[in-house]
Each structure stands twice: as structure tokens, then as C-alpha cells.
Amino acid sequence: MPLDYAAPIPAPPSASIVLIVLRRLRAPLIALVVIYVASIVGLTVVPGVDAAGKPSSPMSFFHAFYFMSYTATTIGFGEIPMPFSDAQRLWVTLCIYLSVVGWTYAILTLLALFQDRAFADALARARFGRRVRRLGEPFYIVCGCGETGQLITRALDRRGTRFVVVELKEARISELELEDFRTDTPALVGDVRRPQNLVLAGINHPQCRGVVALTDDEEANLAVAMTSRLLSPRLQVLARVHTPETAQNLVAIGTHHIIDPFQKFAEYLVLAMREPGCYRLLDWLTGTPGTNLRSEYAPPRGEWVVCGYGRCGKAVVRELDRERVSVTIVEPAAAGASDRRIVAGRGTEQAVLKAAGIETAEGLVASTDDDSVNLAIAVAARALNPRLFMVLRQNLAENRVLFDRFKADLVMVSSEIIAHECFAILTTPLLPLFLAVVKNQPDAWADQTIARLRARLGDEVPVIWDVRITPRDALAVHDALTRAGQSMRLGDLLRDSTDRDRRLASCALICVRASETIVLPEEAADVRVGDEYLFAGTSEARALQELTLRNANVLEYVRAGREVRGWFWRKIASRG
């Protein structure tokens, strides 16, 4: 049976809420019904008295029902239709006590229900489902909200992009609710390995644009990718991995972007060693806006000591091997790799570091999963060899002050690497393409590119954005090219919309046209419908360019120098 990829978004779990309420209140409701029925039946058989005090027939069923309807709920009553006989008063007294007990039982059960965890979870899921279904703008599903997830959500919020969070740990959801986000953020406490949680989070929602799997559990990330692939293959999927085996599984199921922070950092380290100019350009373009371009540095190519041969250490050693750099490994469990030079120990002891050759080494990588151990290794190594090039792995963001104080040459923070990569892919899809080009260029090209960008932008880390010549992103330009048949140059999009003789503090990094990719396109190049451009510049330049892209009058001014007046003033001028 084929999968229904256009399956509707399921209704909230209101049915489960009703079932829980009925199941928990079943006994109190039955007790109340029995009390009411017995009370009414009793009043219809107990004889009464008339106005003269003589015995009369019992109450009718209607009067008995009416009497119990207001007596059992308020305990305030009048004797109708006649004053009661002693037998009736005795029976009513018994009914009052029974009804009080019944209602007390029902109310206490209801209060206990509201404190029940399953009921609270059902209510939370229902509210979450309603909030997701009401989303009317594009959003992403973020699975896992640890340090990396928090960085991603903050970055998306600053950009004005909506997102939905699914996280297993309730404490992290509580932390997320304390964030000062600009928009309301639906968040669900749930296991992302359960497909129904992703369905509830909007994986089939027409506005959902992608899924980001950032949990600490690789199997969970693999499950998210598989669920997304089967239920909504149109979505872009980004997954975090730490082992090559999981990465291969993700490739097999067609995951769009697989991010291994350790492998990516190892590649950066070797790139800085091989082509320091290219690494400097890459670091500048992916840095935090507002910070400055760092001076160029190159890790030495001599002897290196790697302390910690776990996932991070293995990735670093693997890349250093490809670069033909000599490596000595320091690892407590020294057995296993007989073809390598391995010294048993943690690296915090000077004797172990000396045995590894730290006194003559050029570089050190402290890559254990304990920040205190990494800092201790670095302190011990610097005491033995102050000229070492220090590379430290920082596991927890809260320890940043310690690593800043130590002032290592390079610090690897996996959460930041993943967050930067994910944010670039989600918001500027052309940036990874340009960075891939940078990695394969010589240093001379990178130095020329940096000089060209600095002349236009200055030394601050630029804002990166992309533009597509489509009605959605560039309505004025698209209409000018299609309806008016006008020609346009890339340089026209780089003019100041307030003074066309001035250039914006912006530069085009890459142009994708059909199957053609143009790196650093010239300003004299033609602009065509469907072109995709990646720009770097200031936030002010981006705002001015967006005005040009969307406003036909502004576009005509920057393109031809003609200030086109509005419809009203054109009418006045034509009559004059």
C-alpha cells in the first residue's frame, strides 16, 4: 500500500483527554447517579401530608426530581408542594448527607485528576497540537534542545524564523520557556523516536520547511531522519552525528545534510595548516556579526601530540595522517592501534607528556570529553613547552570563561560548529557552496578575496544573505526583466538607493544560474530571471538592497537615474 505523503495533520489528542476524564470520574459519576435515583425514588414512595396535616399521597416524580435537583447541589431547599411529613423529612436528611458525600467524592477525584501526570501530558499535547496547526508562516522542527539546539533557536528567532521544538528532557523545555523569544514557540516534551510526536510537531504541515535533528543520541537522530524521509520526503533534513557508521546510515536513507562536528573541526584544523588564508576567509564569513577579522595564523606541521583518542581525537588524527603529519597519541587504554605510537596515560601527568615527546613537539590537541582534564593537560604541556600550538576541545558552553582565560590558539566547541553549520544551511543555502569553493582554492586567491571584501566592507564580520530573482524575493527586478524586457547589471543591485553614485557596503560572493556556478561575479555581469546570489555586507546595505529589489521606483532610480514619481503626481503633471 503506497504511503500517503499528503496525509492531513492529525487532530489534537482531545479524544484521549475525554477518555481519561471519563475513566477517572467513572466511579464518582456512578455514585452520584445512584444517589440521585435512590433519592428521587424514595420521595415518590414516602407518604406526605396535606395542608390540614392529614396523610396524603407521596410526591409526584416531577416534584421529586425538581426537589432533588436543587437540594443535592445547594443544600438550600423549601418543602414543596406541601410541608413534608416526618417520614419525608427523615428521608430528605439521609439524601442530603448522601449527596454531600457523593459530591465531595467527585470533586476530590476531579482535583486529583488535574494533578495526574498523564492527564497533564494529554492537555499539554493538545495545546501543542493546536499551536502548531495555527502556524501560518514557514517554520522548522528542532529535535533536541541542548546547548546546540538553544543556539539554533536563538539564531532563528533573531532572524524572525518560526520553529517548533521537541525535546525529551522536561528541564530543557523549562529553560526554553525562559528565553526572551520574539514569537510564541510551541515546545513539546516527547521522544523524537516516536513518529506520532513528529507528526504532532507538524512534519506534514504545509508550512514546515525542514527538520533539524540535534539530540545527543545518534539513534534518535537516525530515527528522525527516517521518519522525515518516509512521512514527508519534501522536507530538508539536517542531522548531527559523531560516528562514521551513523553517517553512512544517514547517507543511505537520503539525509540532505549530515554534520559531524569533530570531523568538520579536524578539516578546519588541517585547512588552517595547509592554506591559512583560506581558513581565515572561511572563519571570517562564518563568524559572529560585529566581531573583527582575525589575523592569519598557521598551525605548525611538525610533531603533534593528541591527548584523548575518542571520537574527536580519532577525527583529528585521521586528518593529520592525510596531511602526513607525525602524531603521538596519549590515551589511558593504550592497546589497539599497534601501528601508532601510543603512550598510556591521561596527559595530565608531566611524565606521560615527556614520554610522548611534548618537549620537542610543535602542537598539542587536548580532545577528551572532560573540560577540566583538557585544561589540566594544556597547563601541564605549556609548562614543559611554552611555544606549543594549543588546540583545546571545550565540551560545555558554561566553561567558556576558563578557556578564554587560558588563551589557547584554537578552541573547538562542537555545539557552535553544529549551530553555525545548521544556521547557514537553513538561512543561506548558498553559503556552504561558497565555503566548499574556498576550501579548494590556493592561499593567494583567498588573500585577494579578503582584500577585495575588506576594501568594500571593512574588517567586521559581514552579514550574509542570499537573493533569488523571483517574484517572492525580488518582485521589482523580476517584473523589469520579464514584463518590461529591460536589461540589468549586477552592479545596479549594489548601488545605494538614496544616492546611486555611491556603492553599497556589499559584495556578491557567488551566483548560481541553472547548472552554472559563478564565483565572485563581476558587477558588469547580466542579471537574469532565476539567478541566485549570495551577498556579504552590512545590515544597512542589506536593507537598502531589499528596497531596490522590491520597489519598482527605487529600482528605476538606481538603474537609470530616473526618479519615478507616484501615480498621483504623474496625473497632476500630465494635466499641467
Q: What is the CATH number of the domain that holds 70?
A: 1.10.287.70
Which neighbouring-strand residues pair with 331? Answer: 344
Is there a domain that residue 473 lies in?
yes
Inside any domain, residue 315:
yes
Total residue length of the chain: 576
pLDDT at 2 over 50: no
pLDDT at 142 > cutoff 80: yes
Express each pLDDT in 295-324 by its tens digit: 888 899 999 999 999 999 999 999 999 999
The reported pLDDT for the residue numbered 455 is 92
Sign of the dihedral defined by the CA atoms of residues 91, 93, 96, 100, in that order: negative
Beta strands in 68-143 (DSSP E): 139-143
In terms of DSSP bridges, do strands 532-537 and 463-468 run parallel, antiparallel, or are they unpaired? antiparallel
**Domain of 304: which CATH number?**
3.40.50.720
**Could you tell me if 347 and 380 are in contact, meaning their C-beta atoms sit under 8 angstroms apart?**
yes
For residue 364, give the nearest of 311, 427, 411, 323 by alpha carbon: 411
Question: Between helices 414-427 and 147-159, what is the axis angle to 10°?
Answer: 30
CB atoms within 10 A of CB 146: 16
Letter string b/e over residues 369-383, b meaning 16 or more CB atoms within 10 A of that residue's CB: eebebbbbbbebbbe
Looking at 259, 290, 307, the residue that finishes a domain is: 259
| Of 58, 89, 115, the domain-final residue | 115
- Residue written as grid cell 512521512: 231
Mean pLDDT computed over every residue of the chain: 88
What CATH number does the domain containing 512 carry?
3.30.70.1450
Same domain, 531 and 399: no
Identify whether residues 471 and 366 lie together within a single domain. no
* pLDDT given at position 18: 77
Q: What is the mean pLDDT of residues 199-226?
A: 95
Q: How far is CA 178 from CA 183, 398, 459, in A?
A: 13, 17, 35
pLDDT band at 334, cuts 50/70/90?
Answer: low
Name the most confidently modeled range: 50-54, 106-110, 360-364. 360-364
Query: Quick check: is 569 in a domain?
Result: no
Is there a single domain that holds both residue 308 and residue 412? yes
Q: How confident is the model at residue 338 (pLDDT cuts 50, 70, 90)?
A: low
DSSP result, 533-546: EEEEE-HHHHHHHH
pLDDT at residue 117, rounded to an integer: 83
Residues 6+ apart with CB under 8 A from 294: 280, 283, 284
pLDDT tens digits, one per residue of 431-490:
999 999 999 999 999 999 999 999 999 999 899 999 999 999 999 999 999 987 788 999
**Mapping DSSP to helix (H, G, I), strand (E, B) and coil, where does residue 330 land?**
strand
**Rounded average pLDDT over 27-50:** 91
Q: In whole angstroms, give the CA distance from residue 4 to residue 298.
A: 53
Hey, what's the cell of 292?
573583527
Last residue of a domain, one of 259, 288, 303: 259
Q: Do 277 and 254 lie in a common domain?
A: no
Enter the pTM of the model.
0.79
The interaxial angle of helices 26-45 and 61-74, nearest 10 deg, is 130
pLDDT at residue 20 greater than cutoff 50: yes
Q: Which domain holds residue 505?
A: 462-560
Tell me if residue 429 falls in helix, strand or coil. coil
| Average pLDDT for 388-415 | 93
Look-up: residue for cell 588563551? 407
Q: Is the pLDDT of residue 11 over 70?
A: no
Report yes or no on 276 lying in a domain.
Answer: yes
Cell reading at 518: 559563478
Q: What residues contact residue 432 under an 8 Å CB cut-off, 6+ apart?
A: 421, 424, 425
Residue 2 placed within a domain: no
